[in-house]
Chain A
């Protein structure tokens, strides 16, 4: 750690789009952004890692499939195994699922259409790098923009996800009610984000990095970045 700020790495894959916004959001929220490259075999000593949104490797074969073989992913895997906070946003979520670091998979939206708009998500657990310090039931306004965000899982896996409290966020109405009308892509159980058993890896389809600056809209992403910086700091002090 340098200068007392938690260092948050953002990985750029070929086809990443939201790496710049993620880096900017880290800086805006008081962290030190560190740009990481898919070919790196070194996470440069960061305290947390973000896999940003976009269309890595053109979404060839399946979304996130090819990116999971990038050199940097070996480092992400061991960082996660050591308890390091890892966040996958949108395409980053898809990559973490394909890499087996998160349960489930993301398939084409139920309505077939790309969806790009502001939505609300309800916090389901505080045991994730993005929701520490929040309260279950809190509603955050953030944007989504994806064509393949419908969360699915095998039946036994889904029971485990729900049973062990691995659901981090659900699509909901502005008042927090979860119903089909607000399930923006037809996800099973309106699931917008999940975590791993260890609680240090989280993936979500919405984009908190686009929702930190009041000059450009709602600020539902701020609380998630506050939580991430806190998780990164805890890691620094634990080391």
Chain B
């Protein structure tokens, strides 16, 4: 299927093709998702495998320096004439073991404590629990005179954080250790060949040239590791604990509960699973409507402005660009103010008809849902106009030229060239927007706050999306475990969506090569 074939189809066929390829894309995306996960683990194992490959061999073939480096890092380098590098390896080893002895071992051992005496399990029972993060619950113990003394409890949150950190540091150390043995063996070979090993300064200079990528990526990767990867790993672990509002550190401990939270969200807890199902459904409905309403209206607006014979094009465009440029939170709060039950719109309508009218724009469950979609159009249509305007100008003029020669009229040109072209080119954009809308926190939260509240939902309102529910669970509810589960679900949704995009854009790339 190439672009020309596509252009020759009727409009109906084209839309059918798009819809078909969207749905046929889903299994592919899931397959891709699985293959990416498999790829990820494969990479990790390959990495470990590569580390061990020749690990024993190198030891057998190694001279005294290389052999020593298996125990005392850097010895190989020092023996083979790279003092500075060897010392750095040695310093890393000393530093790591000091860290582990004084902190790391303690924190890791605290990650899973057995038979912990817990005076209050959150439901008021006194239990003995396995798999607790921390070995000591905060409690009051009477001394010989009968005076109560406070016993400090462990801080589960801190234990999990430092535990994860210690594990990550250990992984990093292991990598450096393997690099050290390789480096020792490599320098041994160079020395055996009768050559001189590269000096420290020369090696440092490589970081400005052959190894410049290390220099460039070092700081960004450290930033990502400490403020993105570490927190994400931490949060994923939280999904398997009972860190909720009744198990709040530092005063109370929490412990591992396996897949209980996932079970709760899917079936075990009627209220939570009902809320999850309803919110997931609304999230998808919202994402579909919000994406397509903006898309269609944006294209129509762009076409109107770019229509031949319309004057002041720059003026019209500027008006809409300026409204798009006003920060989103300002326009959204503005809309919230205007459409409150006692907001200006209701007051103006009341004044016009002569008696008090209260239209529940944001407090009626159904109307609120329609309202957020409509306001989202108000916010988003100028953006879409901006983007599709650029595309309209990019349509190759010779397409129209040849169509005119073939006797196509304006309507035919529009339906046979303009629309298919825009649709074809913007498909990746469309799906990116779809994924963006699944994550569209601002529009919902600032407009309705997720409301109107619903009593049969668990801490959520009628217009809440998964992400706003996640926010509420984190900020107001402090049910971190449930929030983590929801976060993982959103990740799976977005990953599937992104992979469909990826598949499609890969397909369109091939198509271009083909035609």
Q: Do A and B come from one complex?
A: no
Task: List residues of chain A with CB under 8 Å of any chain B CB.
Answer: none
Task: List residues of chain B with CB under 8 Å of any chain A CB.
Answer: none
